């Protein structure tokens, strides 16, 4: 369901409506609305904001259509979910 594209889609409309790009199969990207990111069972990003609480993750932000986290030296497993 949704749009699958060979390149991320980042423009004024995607920012206005809180869409982000999810990496897909074979180097494609899928547009997601209202993404929620978990590390393990803990939510670390929701409603376009970083949520503190996971040891070693010091920040997170939505930047140019991508969600980026600053992390320490450890092992992390991120899962992203949202509506497409």
- For the chain, give the number of residues: 84
pLDDT tens for residues 29-57? Answer: 777 778 889 999 999 999 889 999 999 99
The answer to whether residues 56 and 66 touch, using CB atoms and an 8 Å cutoff, is no
Quote the number of domains for the chain.
Answer: 1
* Contacting residues for 45 by C-beta, under 8 A, at least 6 apart: 35, 36, 37, 51, 60, 62, 67, 69
Taking residues 11-31, report their average pLDDT.
Answer: 70
Supply the pLDDT for residue 71: 92
Supply the pLDDT for residue 62: 82
- Expressed as residue numbers, the domain containing 59 is 4-83
The whole-model pTM stands at 0.64
């Amino acid at each position: 369901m949704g749009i699958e594209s060979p390149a991320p889609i980042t423009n004024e409309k995607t920012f206005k409506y809180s869409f982000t790009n999810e990496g897909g199969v074979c180097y494609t990207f899928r547009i997601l609305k209202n993404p929620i990111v978990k590390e393990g069972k803990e939510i670390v990003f929701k409603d376009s904001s970083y949520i503190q609480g996971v040891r070693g993750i010091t920040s997170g932000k939505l930047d140019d259509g991508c969600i980026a986290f600053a992390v320490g030296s450890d092992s992390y497993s991120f899962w992203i979910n949202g509506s497409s």
